[in-house]
């Protein structure tokens, strides 16, 4: 193996943020074409979402019975509050899973953080990225190549029943009994090659399961019954099961961040998790299909939110149904209530805007003398498509921001139309990945952006290539982008009703009758 320059990648990462040179003429053209257009605006969204009169948040753990041999009742769960970040686009193939994997690594690179990655896609590609190296290098022949068998072998003693291996398996008994059996919490697995020491890992993973789509089918059926006005006793316990599984799994490892990788679809599960997150990112490609996806999100976000909020009367929404608000007779037993949350759009992540990931880069001097780099999308059509995606991301951000559902523009690290990111509402621009990106997860167990000099040299040697300054700069380029994105997200406040640093479940106060409590549509307490 050729000699490896000591700390070269580290020095390049610390040289400063990367500049993405982008001519603004195409972006201005987009604005001119849109000016005066009669475009349908997003539906009106409720401005406030504060606690209701006569209601408080109380513990909801009284009815939680853990599986035999599983974790005991979780003390202090009510005050536990991680920051929940959703990575989603209803268009597939836009690097959602790659973004989730790399962003989680970036967040976990901070020694003060613990991060839980959650695979919410039945394709389970995030599982393959996170554990490919461990699975294919395992010494047990019956496990090698079988991801779920590998996870099963890593379950703590007493949990090897299969009911804790994934979100789908942990909720199977609950779903099969129509909500009468106890709900299990999935195990949060350590990511073997994640940041941290051997005895103090900082990156964890929850699997979706082989038949994750069954959860969506179950929730869709229950939501339809609730929306039709049915009052079955078990209905109120169903909407919040997936949220609570994820939340409690995060609590079990003390995660400060939860990063969700959603499937490329518009379905009940995705809308549920999107509406109960703090911030969401939309990975995009520089193409017309990503433009269409952003337009769809802009048009329908209000409608999706009202499904849970209940439109003008939150008492009719899915959230209040999950708290037993619509249950007839006596005090409800709200085991899995959904919290009040107001998701905020944190911007698009535009990937693959240039066809050449390792093009020759021209060093640009700055005040500190660092190695800032410039690059630009190649070709007029590529620049135009990139400009259009940036434009529609800004349109989406401005529309949602007007109702409090997007990060304020002044919270972004860099100003709009600059060549630095994050900026409103483009969180990052990431060039097309290098050849060998997936190979790194198999050989090194981590994203390309977080390879060390030794790992990079070893991997390229196995591929019959040699490492050079351009390859090391490529690693540093990606890493700096993801670290800047992670730092931006870490500075954002936790989104919570009433500004509290914990969830507000709005569960009924003991001694009050649900049916006698007034609802103030203005949101005033």
For the chain, list the domains and their CATH numbers.
75-351 (3.40.50.300), 378-406+469-499 (no CATH)
Exposure letters 270-293 (e unless 16+ CB within 10 A, then b):
bbbbbbbbbbbbbbbbbbeebbeb
Judged by average pLDDT, the poorest of 149-153, 296-300, 469-473 is: 469-473
pLDDT for residue 118 is more than 90: yes
CA 227 to CA 229: how far, in whole Å?
A: 5
> DSSP code of 251?
H
450-477: average pLDDT: 82
Q: Output the pLDDT for position 145.
A: 67
Q: Output the pLDDT for position 453.
A: 87
Reading the block at residue 293, the tokens are: 């996806």
| Mean predicted lDDT score pLDDT of the chain | 75
CA 39 to CA 277: how far, in whole Å?
A: 28
Q: Output the pLDDT for position 246.
A: 94
Kindly give, in sequence order, each residue whose CB lies less than 8 Å from that of residue 268, ignoring residues fewer than 6 positions away.
216, 219, 220, 223
**Omega within 30 of 0 (cis) for the link into 422:** yes
Choose among 359, 270, 349: nearest CA to 95.
349
455-470: average pLDDT: 79
Q: What is the pLDDT of residues 50-93, one digit of tens each?
A: 333 323 333 333 333 333 433 333 445 667 889 999 999 988 88
Strand-pair category, 344-351 with 426-430: parallel
Choose among 108, 72, 101, 113: nearest CA to 248.
72
Rg, Å, the chain Cα set? 24
Q: Output the pLDDT for position 2.
A: 55
Q: Output the pLDDT for position 153.
A: 83
Q: pLDDT band for position 181 (50/70/90)?
A: confident
pLDDT for residue 13 is more than 70: yes
CA 163 to CA 182: how far, in whole Å?
A: 12
Distance of CA 439 to the CA centre of its chain: 24
Q: Output the pLDDT for position 500.
A: 46
Q: Output the pLDDT for position 225.
A: 85
Could you count the other beta carbons within 10 Å of the beta carbon of residue 384? Answer: 17
φ, ψ of residue 456 in degrees (nearest 5): -65, -45
Reading the block at residue 116, the tokens are: 């839980």
3-state secondary structure of 197: strand
Beta bridge partners of 201: 196
Residue 165's alpha-carbon distances to 171, 249, 287, in angstroms, are 11, 11, 38
Beta bridge partners of 196: 201
Q: pLDDT band for position 206 (50/70/90)?
A: very high
For the chain, how many residues are written?
A: 525
CA 211 to CA 122: how far, in whole Å?
A: 6
pLDDT for residue 170 is more than 80: yes
Please give the helix or strand (H or E) that residue 56 lies within, else none: strand 55-56
> DSSP code of 469?
H
Judged by average pLDDT, the poorest of 1-5, 49-53, 485-489 is: 49-53
Can you state the percent helix, strand and coil of the chain, rounding each to 5? 40, 10, 50
Beta bridge partners of 351: 285, 430
Q: What is the pLDDT of residues 231-279, one digit of tens each?
A: 666 777 888 899 999 998 999 899 999 999 999 999 999 999 999 999 9
Exposure letters 472-504 (e unless 16+ CB within 10 A, then b):
bbbbbbbbbbbbbbbebbeebebbbbeeeeebb
Instruction: Please answer whether residues 16 and 370 qualify as being in contact, where contact means their C-beta atoms are separated by less than 8 angstroms.
Output: yes
Judged by average pLDDT, the poorest of 40-44, 137-141, 384-388 is: 40-44
Reading the block at residue 125, the tokens are: 């590609």
CA 310 to CA 303: how far, in whole Å?
A: 10
Kindly give, in sequence order, each residue whose CB lies less than 8 Å from that of residue 3, ignoring residues fewer than 6 positions away.
none
Judged by average pLDDT, the poorest of 51-55, 162-166, 204-208 is: 51-55
If you search the block for the tokens 């590529």, which residue do you land on?
382
Choose among 85, 241, 244: nearest CA to 174.
241
CA 236 to CA 112: how far, in whole Å?
A: 37
pLDDT for residue 147 is more than 90: no
């Amino acid at each position: 193996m050729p000699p490896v320059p000591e700390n070269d990648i580290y020095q390049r990462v610390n040289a400063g943020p990367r500049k993405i040179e982008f001519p603004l003429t195409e972006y201005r053209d987009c604005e001119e074409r849109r000016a005066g257009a009669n475009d349908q605006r997003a539906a009106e969204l409720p401005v406030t979402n504060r606690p209701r009169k006569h209601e408080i948040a109380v513990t909801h753990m009284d009815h939680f019975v853990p599986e035999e041999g599983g974790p005991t009742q979780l003390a202090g769960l009510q005050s536990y509050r991680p920051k929940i970040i959703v990575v989603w686009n209803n268009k597939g193939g836009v690097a959602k899973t790659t973004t989730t994997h790399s962003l989680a690594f970036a967040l976990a690179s901070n020694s003060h953080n613990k991060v839980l990655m959650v695979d919410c896609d039945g394709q389970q590609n995030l599982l393959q990225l996170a554990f490919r190296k461990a699975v294919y290098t395992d010494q047990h022949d019956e496990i090698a190549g079988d991801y779920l068998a590998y996870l099963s072998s890593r379950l703590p003693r007493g949990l090897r029943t299969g009911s804790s291996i994934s979100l789908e398996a942990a909720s199977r008994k609950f779903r099969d009994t129509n909500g009468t059996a106890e709900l299990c919490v999935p195990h949060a697995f350590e990511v073997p090659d994640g940041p941290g020491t051997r005895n103090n890992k900082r990156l964890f993973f929850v699997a979706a399961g082989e038949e994750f789509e069954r959860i969506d089918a179950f929730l869709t059926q229950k939501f339809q019954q609730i929306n039709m006005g049915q009052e079955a006793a078990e209905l109120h316990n169903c909407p919040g099961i997936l949220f609570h599984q994820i939340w409690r799994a995060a609590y079990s490892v003390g995660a400060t961040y939860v990063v969700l990788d959603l499937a490329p679809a518009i379905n009940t599960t995705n809308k549920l998790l999107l509406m109960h997150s703090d911030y969401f990112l939309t990975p995009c490609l520089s193409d017309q299909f990503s433009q269409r996806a952003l337009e769809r999100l802009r048009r329908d976000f209000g409608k999706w939110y009202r499904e849970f909020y209940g439109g003008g009367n939150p008492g009719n929404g899915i959230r209040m149904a999950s708290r037993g608000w619509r249950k007839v007779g006596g005090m409800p037993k709200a085991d899995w209530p959904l919290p009040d949350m107001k998701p905020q759009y944190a911007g698009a992540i535009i990937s693959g805007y240039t066809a050449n990931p390792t093009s020759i880069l021209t060093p640009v001097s700055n005040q500190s003398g660092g190695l800032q780099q410039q690059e630009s999308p190649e070709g007029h059509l590529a620049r135009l498509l990139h400009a259009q995606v940036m434009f529609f991301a800004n349109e989406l951000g401005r529309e949602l921001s007007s109702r409090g559902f997007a990060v304020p523009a002044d919270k972004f690290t860099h100003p709009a139309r600059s060549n630095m990111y994050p900026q409103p509402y483009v969180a990052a621009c990431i060039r097309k990945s290098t050849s060998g990106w997936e190979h790194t997860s198999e050989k090194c167990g981590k994203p390309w952006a977080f390879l060390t000099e030794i790992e990079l040299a070893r991997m390229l040697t196995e591929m019959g290539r040699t490492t050079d300054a351009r390859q090391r700069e490529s690693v540093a380029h990606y890493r700096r982008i993801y670290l800047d994105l992670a730092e931006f997200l870490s500075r954002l406040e936790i989104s919570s009703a009433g500004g509290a640093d914990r969830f507000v479940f709005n569960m009924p106060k003991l001694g009050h009758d649900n049916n006698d409590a007034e609802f103030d549509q203005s949101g005033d307490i």
